[in-house]
Every structure is written in structure tokens, then in C-alpha cells.
Structure 1
Amino acid sequence: MDDIDRRHLIRCVELAEAALASGNDPFGSILVAANGTVLREDYNRAGGGDETRHPEFELARWAAGNMTPEARAGATVYTSGEHCPMCSAAHAWVGLGRIVYAVSAAQLVEWRTALGAPPSPVAVLPIEAIAPGVRVDGPEPTLRERMKQLHLRHHEAKRAGGR
């Protein structure tokens, strides 16, 4: 992981902050072409009731409809949190390249457990267990505390009956 990766991950955290501000789980992702151009960005939109509205899934769908297979293979998805199994599968099926994430699924489970949040309805698995051919880098330790605070705020808002 280099400074360019960290810069993109910081943008993902900013998108996660925007997601939280709009009543969604704090996750954000960007799709970057092989030449470094940011092609698309999105944040979690599951707050409306559709739990499949993950940004990584949305980016995979966009890539499938707007990029050649070769361009997809050379692209990188940066994301604030490690892909869930649904998003890992979408990434692999579409043929996207590298994944870089700020915090791991294991870290998220640890935080949620400590907060007393209910467990995920889906098994928490590393990306490599779902998409073994995808190159994966993460987590990025410098973003751990910032992401942890976003998830704490999200949990507190849910507990208080907010979004």
C-alpha cells in the first residue's frame, strides 16, 4: 500500500461519513481505472431498507455496464470496509481487479460485538474466501480509529432510535 492508495482510502472514509450523515451504514467506495482516473464513487444506501445497496456492489454493477473486461481487470476498488460476501462475489463475477480496504471485516465484527450490536445475518468471511483470484490489500492502520468512531456513532444513533 502506498500514498496513492491511502489518499483514495481517505476519500472512501469521507464517503462513509456522508453515508452516516444521510442515515446509512458508514461505508464508502471508489472505482479507479488502471491509469489512476477515479471513474465512480458511492456510499452505502441501505438505510432505505434494501440491504443490498452496498457501494461495492453498486460499483461492480456500474463497471459491468460501462467498462470493457480488460478495463475492469485493470481497475482497483477502494473501500472503507472489507467487502462482504455479496460484494466480494459481485466483484469477482464482474472481473474487477484489486481491492484495497481501510478496515477489515474482522475489525468490524470486533467493534460491533463490543457495542452489543446484533450479528450479521450473513457469515463474515474474508474476500479471499469468496474471490480467491482477486488481489487484496488492507487494512490501513492509520484509518482504524476514524472508522471505529464512525461505527460507534452509527450504533449510538440506532440505539437512540435515529437513523
Structure 2
Amino acid sequence: MDLYDEKFINEAIIEAEKAYDEGEIPVGCVIVRDGKIIGRGHNLREQQSDPTAHAEIIALRDAGRNIGDWHLDGATAYITLEPCPMCAAALILARVEKIVYCIANSELGACGSVWDFPDDPAFSSHPIVIRHNIDSYKTLLNKYFKNLRETKR
């Protein structure tokens, strides 16, 4: 991973840590264009009682507000966990150019693991997808689910 991607993946991990601290599944996202973060988000589903309040959706909304446009041509989404179908579709429809994520989502991944929305001919936009294996994020995600299992005992 180059230093540019590493810088913004680390920002997404900071967002995931916020979600963890708030009792949410630790997923974070930043949207970057021209080297600047234009949108940030982390999971807020529990706090907002909103099934669509995923990190990517929050970051897309933030980016749109910040630039005054929902078209995110030339932007890159840095995400800690491979996007689900809802989030992958939203990123594609927003015309994000590239999706970079830390680890695969073996249950609901829609960027190559379970489904491959970016390569689906039904979409008119086809972002580049890059996956990095980031141990620090895996540790955070595993810690969250371990705590959840122990709490349910």
C-alpha cells in the first residue's frame, strides 16, 4: 500500500474507532477528492435507529453537503470493511472513482467477496476496487465481536 492510501485508510480506521467507542459495529469511511477529505462517517445504526446509517452512507451524505453536489466523480472511498450491497450501490451511483477497503466482508461483501457490484454491467459506473489486509483493523473488529459474544452470555 502506498503512503497516500495508508494516510486515508488510517483516517477511516479513526472513524471505525469512534463507532466502536459508541457501541456500534466498528466500520469507518472517508471520501477523498483531490487529496482532501470531503466526507467522513462511521456506523450510527444503533444510535439513530436507522438501518441505512452505515459508515459509507453517512460519509456520502457528508461529502455531498460539503461540496454541494452528489456527483463524486474523481473521488475515492476509503472504508474499513468491504461495502454491503446497499453501500456499494450508493458509492457506484455517486460515481466514486475508486473504492479502497481494509478487509473482505465474507457475509455481505458486494465488491468482490460475495457479489461484485463494481463489475456488474447493470451499472453505468465501474469504480476500481482495491483491498488491503490491515491487521490493526482486524484486531478492532475481532475485539468488538468478542465483547458482543461475552455480553450475550
TM-score (norm. length: structure 1): 0.76
8 Å Cα contact 2:42-2:59 kept in structure 1: no
| Aligned positions, number | 141
Structure 2 partner of 1:113: none
1:125 to 110, 117, 136: 110
Shift of 1:64: 4.7
**What is the letter of the counterpart of residue 59 of structure 1?**
A
Root mean square deviation, CA, Å: 2.1
Higher relative contact order (CA 8 A, sep 6+): 1
Structure 2 partner of 1:135: 128
Bigger CA drift: 35-44 or 148-157?
148-157
Q: Which runs of 5+ in 1 are unaligned?
A: 110-122
Shift of 1:156: 2.3
Q: Which runs of 5+ in 2 are unaligned?
A: 120-125
Structure 1 pair 5–19 and aligned structure 2 pair: CA distance change class (3 A): same
Structure 2 partner of 1:160: 150
Shift of 1:90: 0.6
Is it true that 1:83 corresponds to 2:76 in the alignment?
Answer: no
Alignment partner of 1:29: what SS?
Answer: strand
Alignment partner of 2:73: what SS?
Answer: helix
Shift of 1:6: 0.8
Structure 2 partner of 1:118: none
- 1:103 and 1:125 map into 2 onto residues whose CA distance is 12
Structure 2 partner of 1:103: 103
Alignment partner of 2:77: what SS?
Answer: strand
Structure showing the higher helix proportion among its residues: 1
1:148 to 135, 138, 151: 138
- 1:42 and 1:61 map into 2 onto residues whose CA distance is 9
Q: Percent identity among equivalent residues?
A: 26
8 Å Cα contact 1:63-1:94 kept in structure 2: no
Shift of 1:126: 2.7
**What is the letter of the counterpart of residue 127 of structure 2?**
V
Runs (4+) of structure 1 exceeding 3 A deviation are 61-65
- 2:81 and 2:104 map into 1 onto residues whose CA distance is 6
Structure 1 pair 99–13 and aligned structure 2 pair: CA distance change class (3 A): same
TM-score (norm. length: structure 2): 0.80
